Structure 1
Amino acid sequence: MSTAAATPFERTSMKQYVYNTWYPLAWARDVRHELTKRRVLEEDIVVFRGEDGRVAALEDACPHRLAPLSLGTLRGNAVECGYHGLTFDCSGRCVRVPGQDTVPASIQVRAYPTTESMGMVWIWMGKPELADRSAVFHLPQYDDPKFSVVEGDALHVDASYLSLADNLCDPSHVTYVHRSTLASEGRIETPVQDKREGNKVVTWRWVIDGPLIPVFNGLKDFGGNVDRWHYYHYHAPSIAVIDFGSAKTGTGAPEGDLGDCIQMFACHFITPIDERSCTQHWLCLKNSPADPAIDARLMSDLRMTFDEDKRILEAIQRNEDKLQGRRTIRLGIDSSSIKMRRIVQEMAAD
């Protein structure tokens, strides 16, 4: 972790990890009764779904010779090491040592608490006794029948998770990076506002009397220009929810009347892998019924959007690696990103 004296935009070290929190591990659909390997906060983890349906996550190293347990065999609700057959249950306790009748209680591997929410498996990387499963992130609209879910994928990004978090606190880049999906012309100077709420940063702006953005085409015909909003909710350290939508100009949306609108919640669940890579899991909630054709187009458009971010962020990471120690400048548009990084510094220090 970088020192407490570091300012939010100094790039001397990106290793700022918060451990006592829930991180997205994998889509629940991808965790089956088989051994898979994941990496979170530079720790290798073997993951599997037991016969009872619950997800287990263990340190991916047998304490005998440190062979990866992910190379072993899943037997019921236990993992058999593929080197000498030591077997560990879902709690990390060794239940079998081939060639001897007794199993010393000291033979254990670390077990990580897990839970499920919003179609994701989440993992707790800190002290197990602090893991509160009721505190895992859950967006109320996920259970609202007025919304349908478009579940995305897991996008690998060769960049720091903090750089991706910068991006997800920043509406100002949309005009330049996402011209074909999220931007409209002539709105470069639209002001952006932000505020901190505890360990959360909210960044927002309204575009009044403008055209519908391309990604909304085909969802609703307003017969003219719209008033549209973007609210970026960043929950430290690795969750971002973007509430964006449109309503016909002059119908009261800025004052809170959203009775006839398009509204979406783009949810980004970031898994920090190490200092220079992360995984972006994403899904979208929209206030319209599921439709295979529309949903497929929406998924394609959003994936194109996130690939545009990926290209920029990975190029930034390459320059950060090459120009180590180079200090970047700050602009007024960086206000929410500065707040975000300060929150992460505070949480990491605690």
Structure 2
Amino acid sequence: MSNYVLNTWYPLAWSRDINNSLHKRRIVGKDLVLYRNSAGNVVAHVDMCPHRMLPLSQGKLKGDVLECGYHGMQFDCSGKCVRVPGQDIIPSNAVVATYPTHENMGLVWIWMGDPALADTSKVYDLPQYHDANWSSVEGDALEIGCHYLNLADNLCDPAHVNFVHLTTLGSSAGEDVPVHHEKQEGKLITWRWINDAPAIPLFQKFGNFKGNVDRWHYYHYHAPSIAVIDFGSALTGTGAPEGNRDDCIQIYACHFMTPVDEDTTIDHWLHVKNFKASEETNKALSAEFRSAFQEDKVILEAIHQNERKYPEHRPIKLAIDASPTRMRKMVQGMIEAEKAPAKEAVAA
């Protein structure tokens, strides 16, 4: 787990998928067992009985008590053992590690670091998700066979859209338009405008534009595992580049990345848009996103396989790599900052 930021809120699962039965999940290389207790809260334990190490996900949930499937030891929602069949004394170390959770934007979030630092006000939130003038649709939990920072590279990179997503999110227009980026506190923004060009296929279908448009892409990366893409279009000449978005189509494509382990990432995605739509339109829009993200999956998995085959290769750097490079430095800085107190304690 040393290669991950731990003192952060990670997306773990869709709230819709966690009920009062046992669910197994994996994050930062650690297996967890989840369930929803009688109060409606999500409980997350390490998936291992402290006795003989059987995964607790192979046990039973009895009310709010989790019973190990091997010798019947029972653990409450805090992870404390409350029963050992056949004896009255409960060992003081009969405890299962338990992690703080919180729910927001349809997701279960988890804190894998120091529980004393788990401030729920720091859980990511997009105001438009709760705005009655906007509409949101939950997508999938897309499993991608790559390291989560490879997916983060992709989500700090508007340039790939012109080549990977020609039938959905991109077009050949703007291939040579420069990409800009700016680092803010805990956040990296990457963007570009493509002005006076035909609408991309997605907006041709859902935007009803009658002429060329000014199109923007703002990639908001919140270290280490959240990327929210603000993209949209307005008719050319209506002032969108100057800040007037009164008459436009605007969508936030939200990517909440779960770093499962070194080889696997789960992309929990949803979209939030500035217009109401029928169920049929929402399904059609989700299908477009699903197709686009599948295109990313194919590329990212192929890259990951080559990284494993050729570990000695050092990729060349291009101008478009400035933002992904800075993103990785941000994450590495967070990891090193977490390790620093431990190093200082050892030195003392």
Match of 1:290 among 261, 277, 297: 277
Match of 2:209 among 212, 215, 222: 222
Tell whether 2:149 aligns with 1:162.
yes
- 8 Å CA contact 1:16, 1:344 repeated in 2: no
Q: Which residue is equivalent to 1:10? A: none
Q: Distance in 2 between matches of 1:41 and 1:328?
A: 25
Cα offset, 1:220, TM superposition? 2.8
Percent identity reads 56
Match of 1:63 among 50, 53, 75: 50
Per-residue CA deviation, residues 270-320 of structure 1 (Å, 9 max, x unaligned), is 000111111000000011113111111111110000000000000000000
Tell whether 2:210 aligns with 1:250.
no
Q: Which residue is equivalent to 2:302? A: 315
Tell whether 2:260 aligns with 1:273.
yes
Match of 1:179 among 156, 162, 166: 166
- 8 Å CA contact 2:198, 2:211 repeated in 1: yes
TM-score by length of 2: 0.95
TM-score by length of 1: 0.95
- 8 Å CA contact 1:20, 1:124 repeated in 2: yes
Q: Which residue is equivalent to 1:6? A: none
Cα offset, 1:221, TM superposition? 2.0
Match of 1:91 among 78, 81, 98: 78
Tell whether 2:141 aligns with 1:141.
no
Q: Distance in 2 between matches of 1:221 and 1:36?
A: 43
Cα offset, 1:207, TM superposition? 0.7
Cα offset, 1:78, TM superposition? 1.3
Letter in 2 for 1:250: G
Q: Which residue is equivalent to 1:188? A: 175
- 8 Å CA contact 2:163, 2:172 repeated in 1: no
Match of 1:306 among 284, 293, 299: 293
Q: Which residue is equivalent to 2:343? A: none
Higher helix share: 2
Cα offset, 1:137, TM superposition? 0.4
Q: Which has the higher contact order (CA 8 A, sep 6+)?
A: 1
Q: Distance in 1 between matches of 2:155 and 2:324?
A: 9
User: Greater CA deviation, 136-145 or 185-194?
Assistant: 185-194
Match of 1:119 among 106, 116, 120: 106
RMSD after superposition: 1.0
Residue 163 of structure 2 aligns to a residue whose secondary structure is helix
Per-residue CA deviation, residues 132-151 of structure 1 (Å, 9 max, x unaligned), is 01110000111111110111
- 8 Å CA contact 2:8, 2:113 repeated in 1: yes
- 8 Å CA contact 2:173, 2:194 repeated in 1: no
Change (3 A) 1:227 1:39: same
Letter in 2 for 1:176: F
Q: Which residue is equivalent to 1:21? A: 8
- 8 Å CA contact 1:20, 1:131 repeated in 2: yes
- 8 Å CA contact 2:165, 2:171 repeated in 1: no
Q: Is there any run of 5+ residues in structure 1 with no aligned partner, and where? A: 2-14
Cα offset, 1:222, TM superposition? 2.7
**1:321-340 pair list within 5 angstroms:** 321-340=308-327
Per-residue CA deviation, residues 38-87 of structure 1 (Å, 9 max, x unaligned), is 00000000000011100000010000000000000001111000000000
Match of 1:52 among 23, 39, 49: 39
Q: Which residue is equivalent to 2:333? A: 346
Cα offset, 1:105, TM superposition? 2.9
Tell whether 2:140 aligns with 1:131.
no
Q: Distance in 2 between matches of 1:331 and 1:337?
A: 11
Residue 296 of structure 2 aligns to a residue whose secondary structure is helix
- 8 Å CA contact 2:163, 2:171 repeated in 1: no
Q: Which residue is equivalent to 2:218? A: 231
Q: Is there any run of 5+ residues in structure 2 with no aligned partner, and where? A: 338-348
Cα offset, 1:324, TM superposition? 1.0
Letter in 2 for 1:113: P
Q: Distance in 2 between matches of 1:47 and 1:39?
A: 10
- 8 Å CA contact 2:32, 2:47 repeated in 1: yes
Letter in 1 for 2:328: R
